[in-house]
Structure 1
Amino acid sequence: MKLGEAIAEIMRREGVDILCGYPVNHLIEFAAARDIRPIMVRQERIGLHMADAISRVTSGRKIGAFCMQHGPGSENAYGGVAQAYGESVPVLVVPQGYPRRLAHIDPNFNSSEAMRHVVKSAEPVVLAAEIGNIMRRAFTRLRNGRGGPVLVEVPTDLWNEEVGEVDYAPVMATRYSPDPAEVKRAARMLAEARRPVIYAGTGIHWARAWDQLARLSALLAAPVATSLGGKSAFNEEHPLSLGCGGVAISAPLRHFLDRADVIIGLGCSFTETNFGVKMPQGPRIIHATLDPMHLNKDVRAEIGLIGDAALTLEALLAELEPLVGSPRDPAPAAAEIQQVREPWLAQWMPKLTSPDAPLNPYRVLWDLQHTVDRDNVIITHDAGSPRDQISPFWKSTTPLSYLGWGKTTQLGYGLGLAMGAKLAAPEKLCINVWGDAAIGFTGMDFETAVRERIPIMSVLLNNFSMAIELKVMPISTEKYRSTDISGDYAAMARAFGGHGERVTDPAEIVPAIRRGIEKTRAGIPVLLEFITSKETAVSRL
């Protein structure tokens, strides 16, 4: 067996059935020979975003994989690897490397060296006979502990080297629990809290701890907020939901965080970022996380619980139930949430239901939410205004129906996420919401959706402007129109072979969405281009 065959066979045994990539990387052919479907993208970053979504949507039960050419392909891929690292997503990255005699010669790009600080581990193949050990280490790191991309670089002169038969069994996925003494302390603090708030992060999705989260909330009658990454971990139609925290947040979320006496962060890092909710200084903090390096990084914690979110919650519930007895009455907290939410939502309803043309983006997203079947949707935002316009108002109802992100905010991320989500969950309506800035970065890969038969629905908010930058670029805008953007993206979608519509009339928003849904059911990718106003209002609280 040749080295390339061995790598593909190991990937197949580990459950990898899709390989995103861009040639030349000889793994593509070796993988196809073993019935691993290759998905060829138009640029490397999108392929990584697709692999990222495959891992997310399956909670890491399937590992997304991406391969690329040495040199320029690896250089182009750097941003996608960094994004996955920032979001703690396990992705197998297999760059082709320069021949061994050139791998360390300047100025050749050496992926295992250059990407080392944005991956969980990076290892070049030096001896072909060691491939079993190398891949075992890679998949063990992918399936255990905090997520992150893992890189295995294969020099181009090694692919056809004979390695014999592969002696390889799939690796185990382990979980670990927090210190029982600290769990007891945390349970006591929560039982005695007058105004506890639960803040749930992405770790709830990776652990599939959705039911345990709901049980904790019910037992304590505690309101639940999520990070952008944790959005959809808790049903946002639930009376105790506060929504998610990003740049834009709901009034109930800010109200309850600021008045909490205890905040328990579950499956979160509490990372300080411009794109996340700011934690108040007063409350006592319990921090439950998989990675001990998160403790006291940005927020001072009084109690640290290190372990898998599901195991942590099970242990916490076992300690809490005797202390609390029966579930507490949720009515007072639910009534307070509603009391704060109603005037906040009323303030935004003129935008959410605006009859104006150009269309208000809030109206487009409000109509979208009330047209699709949210229980059977996977939706994601993009960087900038689309993220801030959708995240406070969209109510996710089922786990992993919203792919949120925000520690690093690369424009154009959402398209690949929607495409990867559709590959992982073909029964779902998969939607990405983006603006005319983001489509400039990755829009050519709508052609990939057409060519590879990935029927997503892409919702584009086009205001012909970098509207979010208008306040910070007044001189350059006035003198040189530096924030102007142009394009007919619905026509682009049609030219690629997809369904493209441009919508300008508020009365046509819902009919266009319904037509788009029907096209996706027929297997056709859809791009709906809504011509919108230069809306800059955001629910910053």
Structure 2
Amino acid sequence: MSFGAAEYEPPLPAAAPKTRLKGAQIVAAILKQEGLKQIIGFPNSELFDALAELDIPPIITRTPRVAVNIAEGYARVTSGRELAAVTVQYGPGAESAFGGIAQAFNDRSPILFLPTGYPRGHEAVTPNFEARRNFRNVTKWCEAATRIQDLPQLMHSALSRVRNGAPSPVLLELPVDLLAEMADVDLADYLRPRRSLPQAGAEEIRELVDILLTARNPLILAGQGVLSSQASAELVAFAELLGTPVATTPNGKSAFPENHPLSLGTAGRARPATVDHFVAKADVVLAIGSSLTRSHYILPIPADKTLLQVTLGEADLGKDYPIAQGVISDARAALCQMHERALEALAGDDRLRARRAVVERDIRRIRAAFLQRWMPLLTADSVPISPYRVVWELMQAIDPERTIVTHDAGNPRDQFTPFYQAVTPGFYLGWGKTTQLGNGLGFAMGAKLARPDTTVVNIMGEAAFGMVGIDFETAIRCNLPILTVVLRNHVLGGYAASMPVATRKYGANRMSGEYAPIARALGGHGECVTDPTELRAALLRCLGEVRSGRATLLEVVTHEESRFAGLSPEMR
């Protein structure tokens, strides 16, 4: 028997088996495929149970903002190589998380933010807070799911943006009724987004390197992009080849080892004298892995410099400074290309060796004089204790190769950053474009979550602790033993100058309270030290408690200090 062409239809391939899942289970299954290790957030979110079914544990905080801070610390310590995901309840949960997302946006942290949303049909009802409408200016992609069938594609789109381009929070709002809806899905065809890194053209690199090689006094300014691309070794090799001094931005601190002979330290609001000297002397500045954002907390680059910029984000080019040349590239790729071009141009010529020797000699001389001027404060025996004595004793008590350190906003940042030498990439979480008090506690917990084998220390003032202190209990409950050092002077440090009348008449800058008892009441270890001669022993005891697995708070009674490196003429 024969079949005509019109009569024969080949059998269809067997349909792939589908599974009936809720929307929350679809999202959870994709996150599982993407390697998510934990979900961070604050109830209520349908994703907590859906992920727990897949053996992915929740990290439940006391506040949504701290949940986001933990995710940022985790993302930054892992250089974005591990997925940091946060979920919060629609309405008040999303509202409370806004500050944390704004912080992560300013500091270029790749976070996947999955807030739940009001049931579909209630989006435009006042005063319902819709994440997709309100977070657009603090995320690089901000959308809402409206159909359960679209969840796999929307998750793919979101994760593609988390992994690619300039790091930034990415938001997908998930309506609660969609998360509860059922659908037949086949997730076998889901494709995991890959990371793709842009690379500059050879001619761009040639021009950039040639400018550096003809400069009299070049300087490299390394930003957080060097850390994100894990390019510290390449940066060291390139700086050594050119004999060029290296400073970092506050966010980029630790991108270049600060015990290296070519290191200048961090070019923040407060900074070591080495930074001021070489920035003033430079004729060409190469900013690599930096957005070159102007900020009150970042040292501005003088207008007389020839400025070169290498960045992942095209929107960064020339946004705050006029640049002679801008290159869009991953920092590591650019450094490898620049190193190769410099070797080719030098062709065995070691004329830069003499320059490197002079630069290193000048750095040693200026740093020694700088430390000599500040040593009376760093080793002061005053009572109450000098905050600089706290900085000095902490530097002696910890091993910087095994310790991740972060600071909070305000005086603790300005007192700590100029002196602490960060030597391991990613082991210092600096920040400062936006300066919300209290972020350091969450950053420290996120760092410990990412690197449980390290010691993690956070330094904050009492105003910062007041913003987030109850989340110290999260560190205890979630087995994240960190050391928080609280500097207590019972004033809002530095704020009297901005409200002198209110301070004089009403004591508006005054604070009160004791914080070590709070740590003990929450279940952690807490100590208070008032004598500078007892400070190091107290630090060592507290570090021992942390290493034994117990979250610890050390309260240090200090005096208010108005002198800052680089800002106080009498200390220059």
TM score, norm. by length of structure 1:
0.99
Of 34, 45, 69 in structure 2, the residue corresponding to residue 25 of structure 1 is: 45
- CA distance in 1 between partners of 2:259 and 2:150 (Å): 52
Match of 2:462 in 1: 436
The residue type equivalent to 1:319 in the other structure is R
Cα displacement (A) at 1:512? 0.9
Match of 1:340 in 2: 366
Unaligned runs of 5+ in 1: none
Match of 2:109 in 1: 89
**Do the aligned residues in 1 keep the contact of 2:408 with 2:439 (CA within 8 Å)?**
yes
Unaligned runs of 5+ in 2: 1-20, 568-572
Give CA deviations for 1:281-317 in whole Å, capped at 9, x if unaligned. Answer: 1121111111111111111111111110000111111
Of 435, 448, 452 in structure 2, the residue corresponding to residue 426 of structure 1 is: 452
Of 116, 122, 131 in structure 1, the residue corresponding to residue 136 of structure 2 is: 116
The residue type equivalent to 2:170 in the other structure is V
Cα displacement (A) at 1:160? 2.2
Say yes or no: does 1:399 pair with 2:425: yes
Say yes or no: does 1:2 pair with 2:22: yes
SS in structure 2 of the partner of residue 528 of structure 1:
strand
Match of 2:340 in 1: 318
Match of 2:438 in 1: 412
Cα displacement (A) at 1:106? 1.3
User: What is the identity percentage for the equivalent residue pairs of Structure 1 and Structure 2?
Assistant: 40
- CA distance in 2 between partners of 1:504 and 1:2 (Å): 57
Say yes or no: does 1:297 pair with 2:319: yes
Match of 2:119 in 1: 99
**Do the aligned residues in 2 keep the contact of 1:490 with 1:529 (CA within 8 Å)?**
yes
Of 63, 71, 78 in structure 2, the residue corresponding to residue 58 of structure 1 is: 78
Match of 1:150 in 2: 170
**Do the aligned residues in 1 keep the contact of 2:229 with 2:331 (CA within 8 Å)?**
yes
Cα displacement (A) at 1:225? 0.0
- CA distance in 1 between partners of 2:361 and 2:407 (Å): 30
Match of 2:259 in 1: 237
Match of 1:176 in 2: 198
The residue type equivalent to 1:270 in the other structure is L
Match of 1:476 in 2: 502
**Do the aligned residues in 1 keep the contact of 2:282 with 2:305 (CA within 8 Å)?**
yes
Match of 1:165 in 2: 186
Of 204, 207, 224 in structure 2, the residue corresponding to residue 202 of structure 1 is: 224
**Do the aligned residues in 2 keep the contact of 1:13 with 1:169 (CA within 8 Å)?**
no
Cα displacement (A) at 1:12? 1.2
Say yes or no: does 1:445 pair with 2:467: no
Cα displacement (A) at 1:209? 0.5
Cα displacement (A) at 1:168? 1.4
**Do the aligned residues in 2 keep the contact of 1:17 with 1:35 (CA within 8 Å)?**
no
Cα displacement (A) at 1:48? 0.1
- CA distance in 2 between partners of 1:462 and 1:432 (Å): 14
SS in structure 1 of the partner of residue 397 of structure 2:
coil
- CA distance in 1 between partners of 2:462 and 2:180 (Å): 45
- CA distance in 1 between partners of 2:353 and 2:120 (Å): 65
TM score, norm. by length of structure 2:
0.93
Of 223, 238, 245 in structure 2, the residue corresponding to residue 216 of structure 1 is: 238
Deviant stretches of 4+, over 4 Å: none
**Do the aligned residues in 2 keep the contact of 1:467 with 1:534 (CA within 8 Å)?**
yes
Of 270, 287, 297 in structure 1, the residue corresponding to residue 309 of structure 2 is: 287
The residue type equivalent to 1:338 in the other structure is R
Cα displacement (A) at 1:322? 1.8
**Do the aligned residues in 1 keep the contact of 2:383 with 2:532 (CA within 8 Å)?**
yes
Max radius of gyration: which structure?
Answer: 2
The residue type equivalent to 1:64 in the other structure is A
SS in structure 2 of the partner of residue 174 of structure 1:
coil
> Number of paired residues?
541
Match of 2:488 in 1: 462
- CA distance in 2 between partners of 1:181 and 1:292 (Å): 18
Of 550, 554, 557 in structure 2, the residue corresponding to residue 524 of structure 1 is: 550
- CA distance in 2 between partners of 1:15 and 1:516 (Å): 34
Match of 1:367 in 2: 393
SS in structure 1 of the partner of residue 180 of structure 2:
coil
- CA distance in 2 between partners of 1:19 and 1:354 (Å): 45
Match of 1:490 in 2: 516
Cα displacement (A) at 1:24? 0.9
**Do the aligned residues in 2 keep the contact of 1:95 with 1:153 (CA within 8 Å)?**
yes
Match of 2:271 in 1: 249
**Do the aligned residues in 2 keep the contact of 1:369 with 1:394 (CA within 8 Å)?**
yes
- CA distance in 2 between partners of 1:339 and 1:364 (Å): 25
Cα displacement (A) at 1:165? 2.8
- CA distance in 1 between partners of 2:451 and 2:358 (Å): 39
**Do the aligned residues in 2 keep the contact of 1:53 with 1:64 (CA within 8 Å)?**
no
Match of 2:5 in 1: none
Bigger drift between 157-166 and 372-381 goes to: 157-166
Match of 1:225 in 2: 247
SS in structure 2 of the partner of residue 349 of structure 1:
helix
**Do the aligned residues in 1 keep the contact of 2:273 with 2:566 (CA within 8 Å)?**
no
SS in structure 2 of the partner of residue 423 of structure 1:
helix
Of 296, 299, 302 in structure 2, the residue corresponding to residue 274 of structure 1 is: 296
**Do the aligned residues in 1 keep the contact of 2:438 with 2:467 (CA within 8 Å)?**
yes
Cα displacement (A) at 1:342? 2.1
Match of 2:60 in 1: 40
Give CA deviations for 1:491-527 in whole Å, capped at 9, x if unaligned. Answer: 0000000000001011111111111111111110000
Of 355, 359, 377 in structure 1, the residue corresponding to residue 403 of structure 2 is: 377
